[in-house]
Amino acid sequence: MSEYKIVEFVLPYPPSVNHLWRRRGRQIFLSSQYKEFLYEVGLLTNGARLVDADEYYVSLIVTPPDARRRDLDNVLKATFDAFTRSGLWQDDCKVAELHVYKKKPQKNRGSVRALVSVQRAALLKHKREMKEDGNSLP
């Protein structure tokens, strides 16, 4: 297990908040769609851990998989909970700053590119470097 101050992942597009849980009678459980997403995030994070900090700074670049109308805030719940379950951080309540950008849809290739840092300056520097390298980061 390695601890980092800044990490970057490209995640699959998460299920909508409306599709995270299912109900059978009084029982509420995780949907198969959400379980698959959690499993994939666990594989992608591969045991990475952020150093314990009082605050985390997050930038998300969201690319929807199709042209349907979608709310950006639907991406946050599933993504942040997946980071918590994978052990990347202890709790998403420590997110102090959040930047979310929405790109044009790419058919069947939706994704969420996530940059997470324990230092605001490190996140901003990383974003500047990516922009200079020609990566289309706002």
What are the structural domain ranges in the chain? 3-132
> Is residue 103 over pLDDT 60?
yes
Torsion of CA 10, 16, 20, 24, to 10 degrees: -150
CATH number of 3-132: 3.30.1330.70
pLDDT (tens digit per residue) in 55-66: 899 999 999 998
Question: Which pTM was predicted?
Answer: 0.81
CA distance 110 to 13: 5
Residues pairing with 54 in the sheet: none
- In which band, very low, low, confident or very high, does the pLDDT at 39 lie, cut at 50, 70 and 90? very high
Distance of CA 91 to the CA centre of its chain: 13
- Report the 10 Å Cβ neighbour count for 100: 15
